[in-house]
Amino acid sequence: MGSLEETCASLRAQITATEEQLAGLKRDLANAEQAAQSDSATTTTAGNEHNDRNGHGRRWPLLQEEYKRYGRQMIVSQVGLKGQLKLRSARILLVGAGGLGCPAAQYLAGAGVGTIGLIDGDTVEVSNLHRQVLHRTKNVGKYKVDSAIESLRELNPHPTYIAHRTHLMPDEALAIFQNYDLILDCTDNPATRYLISDTAVLTGKPLVSASALRTEGQLMVLNDPPRAPGDKSGGPCYRCVFPRPPPADSVVSCADGGILGPVVGTMGVLQALEAIKVITAPDADVAGGAASTPRNPPALHVFSAYSSPLVRTIRLRSRRANCAVCSAEATVTLDTIKSGSTDYVFFCGSAILPSLLGPEERISAREYYEKYPGVSAVSQPHTVIDVRDKGQFEICSLENSLNIPISDILASGLTKPQAADAEQEAPTLPSWLPSELVSESSNPIYVVCRLGNDSQIVVKKMKELGLDQNGQRFIGDIRGGLRSWKEQVDSEWPEY
């Protein structure tokens, strides 16, 4: 019976997906027919003059509606009619349709960029909606690129939108990049950043790179102007700025570290601005994607929402003499990328944290709940330490748990409590450690975090401080953290 129900559910899901695809094709057809009718009407009004994308053979190079739509930016001296025509002919690829890609694509479409490609293999989730402004609640579960293009077409039907429903892979990156003039890196993981930068250099495309986390963001224009490896006049690449990736266990995503929506939105809008500046530069060749000389010296712009000033600029050096991709000593080539011999995941390290504790040092959320079913720490003495930051602890927490943020624990070092002597009335304790945890009590200590990673680190630290009394006192973590608590114990537990 269960197998039949699963089959029915699978068929319903396939029907739903097919219906959505059909609806998308119908929208595309309607837009194409409308565009054809508009072109036909314009051609008739203009005396049957030829009406192609660049306006050859017409009295005016843009459609009447385009003059109205883009007029406010065309009267800006740095853009003008020439700049608008360059935008109309430009092909821009955005890698990522999330917090950075959405506002960047929105402003590029609004500015009249002729072709906008979006590459992303993820689907829309409810947790995306507070910052990924092209997506709508009705599109939860839909491919992000399809959801984004649906919104972009409503904003501006003139550009050509191309959906790449996949994650960027080394064996496909070269073929995709060759079809565009300019690349925007709107991703959030180091391995993909290096792949994007390397491919941009080797295909001769300028790159606008941005990142955002919590309340801060960074922005750079790289490989501008684009030059072949070994040409010192080219702009630096991502490897020139960061020749070594950060330690894998130090990389924090928006899902783990949090993000303030307007912060990532600001960085995405700045990416669109830099892209427009690259395309409309006075001596820019749209086919080449950038000016023959850099518009400004290469720089890293650091945005901080709660600092004054909001933006600091750090000047960058030119290309590194020993860069692995853009120097005369390059070891990363088109062949090494396409063949897979340049292993980006290996280079950046695994993002999956290894298990630091043995099975005997961990307890599942269900096991903990069954061991202490509704009892208080008084009736069945034990301690639960929640190592999330204060903001997360205020969102939700286990009853009677003690909040000690992991940042406080790691900042204090590993100094063991010192025994009291004649001149010292009490042991020396780390600032984060409550005195009651150093007592001779053998009551167990359970550590919990959001996902079950930080809790393992804290258990190890506490044992290094000798709080387990040479193995006489249990110190362990709740495996899988509070996410497993929702899955195994309380389905109404807030998920954030």
Residues that constitute the known binding site for Zn(2+) = 237, 240, 323, 326
Binding residues: 99, 120, 127-131, 144, 188-189, 237, 240, 323, 326
C-beta neighbour count of 299 within 10 angstroms: 13
Q: Decide: residue 175, CB within 10 A, 0-12 exposed, 13-18 middle, 19+ buried.
A: exposed
Rounded-to-integer distance, Cα 320 and Cα 316, Å: 11
Contact indicator for 302, 212 with CB cutoff of 8 Å: no
E strands, 75-234, in order: 91-95, 115-119, 160-164, 182-185, 207-213, 216-222
The Cα-based distances of 130 to 9, 189, 253 in angstroms read: 30, 20, 16
Binding residues for ATP: 99, 120, 127-131, 144, 188-189
Sign of CA dihedral 414, 419, 423, 425: positive
Q: How far is CA 484 from the centre of its chain?
A: 24
Rounded-to-integer distance, Cα 274 and Cα 209, Å: 10
- For residue 301, what is the DSSP state? E
Of 302, 120, 115, which Cα lies nearest the Cα of 212? 302
348 as an active site residue: the answer is no
**Candidate list 102, 186, 348, 449, residue with the active-site label:** 449
Contact indicator for 119, 92 with CB cutoff of 8 Å: no
Radius of gyration of the chain (CA): 28
**Candidate list 102, 186, 254, 348, residue with the active-site label:** 254
Contact indicator for 293, 231 with CB cutoff of 8 Å: no
Report the DSSP pairing between strands 207-213 and 182-185. parallel
254 as an active site residue: the answer is yes
Rounded-to-integer distance, Cα 375 and Cα 386, Å: 18
Give the catalytic positions in this structure.
Answer: 254, 449
